Structure 1
């Protein structure tokens, strides 16, 4: 246990911290100027602002040196240590994520994974509203899980989307990342769906850089499907945009993929030129060495033994790169990282099982006592049941008439209906409980008694007239949502729309079934049939219900 209880920054403090971080995201390489600009944080009496100073200064040195360096390491670790001393969990998480981004960017995957796993565990201890830049945190977790090919990447990306402005360059990037994750999972249909959404958003906001990246990713799907000519066309567009906006990293990646496809097509006319440009970019940064390895391997294939001297030089260079990658971001390290994540999951599952077993042992000792209490309570309940039934029938009928009259007298609006529906549900639940008690009671109840309760229950269900009034007022308040659904999902029937509109008001399956006079299973089956009809558009429909 912690010596002191962990806390989180206040909402006001978090907003202030976020504003400073966002402002410094585009800082220049001048570290002297950065230190002057951040001096107000260093000299602050607030400990969290001093922590922020160390973290942002570490980012500045990283940008200046553009590689792993001792100055950045010192300030990153200092910010984390001070955050831990402050027992502020929101700061602990952010400083660790900030440092992890640095390690990720410079391909220190083996060093990165243990820190990220710990940070993920800690992020489960607070709500997103208590986190600093939750959208960036969840997006980064998605990046990491993508790197080690873990399927949880998609859930992290989708979580990040909930806290991003839409449309925006950031949300387009996350949509594209979700598509890439589905592609790695061999789910080409979902991959293309998210790539298309990302492309539409990038075009809408005029983000040509993001658009170029998406084109390259779509090319991978065409390549996978065997449509190599279209893949080449998309990649060449990606490269042109990358050259225009001087995005060397993206140009390098797209060029390597293009070179591989041209080899399959046996089109060597421009292959050497493409590899030469990609190799020049890959040689410019130490953290591009995995890409340089691919370039050299492709060059060796193109040479095919025609130039032994050149081939010998390339092989020597390749050996040096492989030795370097073995200790940084090579396949061996990625496999070890993936294993570490699986081990962590296994240990977590084991701990859950252990706790459940302990809980089960304690539960056994209570079972006998619960049985005795149940028998006693059953006898008491039995004697009072008959008295309560008559009283509740009268009360429920009065309540129904009251709310029906209230709805009739009130000027129709969606708030009135919302209150009305909630009271309906409450009364229906009570009636169903009473009916069940009568059916299970040892006492012999007359058929007339049960019939009266059944009639009262039927009267509480949504009538055609009430549904028309409800629909009319729903459209007034949620017209944009209703029109969007009807326009984009013309195959929806009125029965589907009833469920969708009630779910839009945050009613669950049980409450919807109560109002419509059907079972919960009937509601679930209706949704299953709708899912079969809509296919991959089903999830989109229910995302629209939640967010539109």
Structure 2
């Protein structure tokens, strides 16, 4: 494994250093075109060890600060490709490159070095680690003329892809649109940007713009011979069909995507396409085909440590198949999902993505505040503005306090009148019951009236709790006490039960004899329900919640078993 690494590193270093030797020696300070030529990623592998050895010493001895930036940046990129993961060597060279650019006070080099470091973290799924570098690059790039930065198209693209990954699709679209302005239309780069634009529009639910951009990407990719990008556009068209539940056409397009991606050994896209294909098969109830597609996707996902989030998605689809087929293996899949989720919470899982998005939004908010403050030009104007505003604020506070006190006084009078009115109504109802013949009908009327008063009192108490003005707890206590006095007391219950027993003796006797399991609290609910009181009315009269009434009935049903249906029939029978 180590031999393979060193061999790969040697080949890549040979390539870059060979290219750099032919260009670096002619580089000049502040020459953006020359720097772009040196840093161009379009280098062929060159197995020229002599060129590699001859290059190192002269380059290290140069006094040019810009050469130091480029040298460290090239080494960082080479080691990243060779290790194919986050590594301390690349970290060291990227940091040196950025530090040298800052020392040189060259914004163009600093932006590009920062973006390369940010993309390095992003490529290996360290989204939160990438965030501060993307933020630093965005702040500087927004203050710069695109003509004075390195690779404007690639710079805006890197930022756009990152913002899309953390879920800020609108900003991602803005940056990719900027990138298109500096990209030749008849290039693979133009196709890549347009394809991703379409994907971000699709995330926002804008199918029209999504289809339009993916179609452009597909045409350009085909015309310039970028087969892998063309395959990706087919996959994205498939996802559009998936949204419309046209699984047959979606599956057909994904199969074409996979065929091309496999032919050109585009592993990551092949894995993604197989995952989407499996999802489509599951939706189309083609379970065996879905299982086969997931196995192929999983094989690729396990080949790279930074494909964990893809493996997690694959495992979740496997769970769907297990549920569908009722096969074994669920425990093992769930354990692996748990391990992956714990691991991804430190890299590119949901939590880090959300955290990165939140931090980016916070940064935007802070930047907006800073921008607004910078518009206040003179310190004297700010002081005067603060003085005037403070005076107005004091007057406003005094007005609010005075107004609030006036409203509180009026509210107190209104509350007192309402409480007196409720007390008067309660006394009147009780007098009516006392003077009326104590029949069950009069009891029912009395309880109905009580229920109306209870509902009104509940509304008044809720108003006090929700009131934004200064409220007196004494009002609430008075209303609470009045509410308690309306609830069915033991004396009320005894009177009510006696009248019920007298007028519905058959029902009552049958109930007591045949249902000994019924408690006194059950009996209250049953008798009130027999007389037509709803759950809400019962809860009000007994001073309990509606849920408590329902749960009491449920417990009684479990206790009585089959006898509960007989009880329900008895309650439902008209007398």
Q: Name the TM tier (shorter chain).
A: 0.5 to 0.7
Corresponding residue number in structure 2 for 1:131 = 149
Q: Displaced runs of 4+ in structure 1, greater than 4 A?
A: 9-12, 23-40, 357-361, 363-366
**Alpha-carbon separation, structure 2, partners of 1:219 and 1:355:** 48
Is 1:340 matched with 2:367? Answer: no
Corresponding residue number in structure 2 for 1:67 = 85
**Alpha-carbon separation, structure 1, partners of 2:243 and 2:269:** 20
For 1:222, which of 241, 250, 253 is the aligned residue? 241
Contact 1:31 1:64 in 2 (8 A): no
Contact 2:114 2:136 in 1 (8 A): no
**Alpha-carbon separation, structure 2, partners of 1:39 and 1:172:** 41
C-alpha deviation, 1:359, in angstroms: 5.6
Q: Which one scores higher on RCO, CA 8 angstroms, separation ≥ 6?
A: 1
**Alpha-carbon separation, structure 2, partners of 1:30 and 1:103:** 30
Contact 1:30 1:64 in 2 (8 A): no
- Number of residue-to-residue matches in the alignment: 357
- Name the CA shift for 1:89/1:10 in 2 (closer, same or farther; >3 Å): farther
User: What SS does the corresponding residue of 1:269 show, helix, strand or coil?
Assistant: helix
Structure 1 regions of 5+ residues with no counterpart? 1-8, 367-548
Corresponding residue number in structure 2 for 1:157 = 176
C-alpha deviation, 1:50, in angstroms: 1.7
User: What SS does the corresponding residue of 1:246 show, helix, strand or coil?
Assistant: coil
**Alpha-carbon separation, structure 1, partners of 2:55 and 2:256:** 40
Q: Pairwise mapping of residues 139-218 of structure 1 onto structure 2 (< 5 A)?
A: 139-150=157-168, 151-218=170-237
Cα RMSD (Å) of the superposition?
2.6
Is 1:115 matched with 2:133? Answer: yes
Corresponding residue number in structure 2 for 1:369 = none
For 1:276, which of 292, 295, 305 is the aligned residue? 295
Q: TM-score, normalized by length of structure 2?
A: 0.58
Is 1:295 matched with 2:314? Answer: yes
Which one is further off, 57-66 or 40-49? Answer: 40-49
C-alpha deviation, 1:206, in angstroms: 1.9
Q: Pairwise mapping of residues 50-449 of structure 1 onto structure 2 (< 5 A)?
A: 50-150=68-168, 151-304=170-323, 306-308=326-328, 310-357=329-376, 362=381
**Alpha-carbon separation, structure 2, partners of 1:110 and 1:247:** 27
C-alpha deviation, 1:45, in angstroms: 3.0
Deviations 1:463-509 (A, max 9, x none): xxxxxxxxxxxxxxxxxxxxxxxxxxxxxxxxxxxxxxxxxxxxxxx
Structure 2 regions of 5+ residues with no counterpart? 1-26, 386-575
Could you say which structure has the larger radius of gyration?
A: 2
C-alpha deviation, 1:352, in angstroms: 2.7
- Name the CA shift for 1:295/1:50 in 2 (closer, same or farther; >3 Å): same
User: What SS does the corresponding residue of 2:184 show, helix, strand or coil?
Assistant: coil
For 2:38, which of 20, 27, 42 is the aligned residue? 20
C-alpha deviation, 1:247, in angstroms: 0.4
C-alpha deviation, 1:126, in angstroms: 2.0
User: What SS does the corresponding residue of 1:94 show, helix, strand or coil?
Assistant: helix
C-alpha deviation, 1:33, in angstroms: 8.1
Contact 2:29 2:66 in 1 (8 A): no
- Name the CA shift for 1:361/1:194 in 2 (closer, same or farther; >3 Å): farther
